[in-house]
């Protein structure tokens, strides 16, 4: 294949990737965006295959990986989607590290050095950056996966001097990177890689559950930059473009989500809020009272309301209640009730988690409203149904300056005339904080599995 045709094919693929991001910016065009992405990736892969002599081995690897990916994708539950995304990020980081090692081991085969010559200085910098970003992405994503899948506690793991330790490790990693740049050899390269792997663990372990959506977005950005680093090592323009698109879009998303949480990006990286300390602070020994009711009570209140806003959270995903909630919405709409869904930017365990759930249940897009648009309407709403959400509706973020989440923008459901909260128990949310909303006079708690409660509400409405 001629060089001009390769460049043209990569250009077409790059344009399709840009159109993918454009399409994914709206639920109405997301299917088209995904289609552009698949076509662009197919063009990029086929073009790359045309440049290699080991097509058989690569096709075999694609078949094995594709088979495993298809099986996992079909079996994974919607509630497990965040940890699957984290696992995928870890593989991108690992690929970056392995490619860098292979390129350093045989630079002639990768076309980054001539026989008998030393690696060019620019290639040493590329190998260093690609390796440490990939290593941090790899181990950091594994820790995120373990936290999200509850194999590790979602509470922050903190210890005295952790920031100084991280700073020291970062400086040491940079020092060995400089040593590798000055005199390329395996010893500084491997030590630098080992430090980066350790840093990935230490950077994510102190981050609490409430910050996990930002962590997923951040690791997505890291994986993109790691892929771009591989592209420089392999001198593959397509990989550089694709990695840069993923890296920059992930960074922008992380910034947007940090703004939605009133958090500084560096503050998230250096240790999230929530967890043991916050939980302990919320338990002041005072016995609080709350009002509870049944699904029949909830059905009566919503069925006689003029407007209902539903606030979905992670509990909705755990109970797989998205289809039931859609059926309940249809029942309310048939009675003349105006129904909408309020979405917080960091609800769930990853960016867009609730949007995906509602889209799966074919909830009309016009009923799904973002936080900034709907917050002004809660005061004029008859009933708000909070189902499986906790931290994103906690009024302490507005009222309690001593709260770890003070200043974080929330869905202001406490302003509605009546609030219904569906939970299994009075346990705290993922951030480990008690919620004053549950003890307000206007709030009624409905305890039970979200799907079962909603199904009972549907029966009562009928």
Contact 213, 349 (CB under 8 A): yes
Report which secondary-structure segment, H or E, holds 234: helix 212-234
* Catalytic site includes residue 372: no
Residues 6+ apart with CB under 8 A from 211: 261, 263, 268, 272, 273, 274
List the 368-370 sheet strands across, edge first: 368-370, 338-343, 307-312, 383-387, 418-423, 443-447
Residue linked to tokens 């003029």: 306
CA distances from residue 169 to 55, 125, 271, 440 in whole angstroms, order as listed? 41, 19, 16, 48
Structure tokens at 322: 């998205």
Catalytic one among 283, 382, 391, 400? 391
Residue linked to tokens 């063009």: 43
342 Rama sector, left if φ>0, alpha if ψ -120 to 50, beta otherwise:
beta
Angle at 379 between CA 376 and CA 384, to 5 degrees: 100
Residues 6+ apart with CB under 8 A from 22: 29, 33
Helices (H), 24-161: 30-49, 55-75, 81-105, 121-148
- Please give the positions annotated as active site: 391
């Amino acid at each position: 294949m001629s060089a001009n045709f390769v460049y043209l094919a990569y250009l077409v693929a790059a344009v399709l990737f840009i159109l993918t991001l454009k399409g994914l910016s709206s639920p109405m065009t997301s299917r088209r965006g995904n289609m552009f992405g698949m076509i662009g990736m197919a063009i990029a892969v086929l073009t790359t295959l045309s440049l290699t002599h080991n097509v058989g081995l690569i096709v075999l690897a694609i078949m094995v990986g594709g088979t495993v990916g298809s099986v996992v994708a079909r079996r994974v539950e919607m509630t497990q989607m965040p940890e699957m995304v984290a696992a995928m990020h870890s593989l991108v980081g690992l690929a970056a590290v392995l490619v860098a090692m292979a390129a350093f081991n045989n630079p002639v085969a990768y076309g980054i050095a001539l026989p008998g010559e030393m690696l060019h200085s620019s290639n040493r910098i590329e190998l260093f950056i690609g390796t440490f970003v990939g290593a941090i992405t790899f181990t950091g994503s594994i820790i995120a996966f373990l936290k999200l899948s509850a194999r590790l506690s979602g509470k922050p793991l903190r210890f005295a001097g952790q920031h100084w330790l991280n700073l020291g490790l970062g400086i040491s990693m940079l020092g060995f990177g400089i040593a590798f740049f000055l005199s390329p050899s395996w010893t500084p390269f491997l030590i630098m890689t080992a430090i980066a792997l350790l840093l990935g663990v230490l950077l994510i372990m102190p981050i609490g559950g409430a910050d996990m959506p930002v962590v997923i977005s951040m690791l997505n950005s890291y994986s993109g930059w790691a892929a771009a680093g591989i592209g420089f090592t392999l001198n593959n323009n397509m990989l550089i473009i694709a990695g840069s698109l993923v890296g920059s879009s992930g960074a922008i998303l992380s910034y947007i989500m940090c703004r939605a949480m009133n958090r500084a990006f560096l503050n998230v990286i250096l240790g999230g809020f929530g967890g043991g300390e916050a939980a302990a602070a919320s338990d002041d020994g005072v016995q609080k009272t709350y009002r509870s009711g049944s699904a029949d009570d909830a059905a009566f209140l919503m069925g006689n309301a003029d407007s209902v806003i539903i606030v979905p959270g992670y509990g909705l995903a755990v109970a797989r209640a998205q289809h039931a909630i859609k059926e309940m919405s249809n029942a309310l709409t048939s009675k003349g009730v105006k129904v909408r869904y309020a979405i917080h930017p960091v609800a769930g365990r990853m960016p867009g988690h609730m949007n995906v759930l509602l889209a799966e249940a074919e909830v009309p897009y016009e009923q799904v409203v973002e936080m900034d648009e709907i917050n002004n309407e809660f005061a004029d709403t008859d009933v708000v149904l909070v189902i499986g959400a906790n931290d994103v509706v906690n009024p302490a973020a507005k009222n309690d300056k001593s709260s770890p989440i003070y200043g974080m923008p929330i869905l202001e459901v406490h302003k509605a005339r009546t609030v219904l909260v569906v939970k299994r128990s009075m346990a705290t949310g993922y951030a480990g904080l008690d919620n004053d909303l549950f003890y307000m006079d206007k709030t009624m708690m409905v305890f039970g599995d979200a799907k079962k409660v909603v199904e009972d509400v549907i029966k009562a409405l009928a």
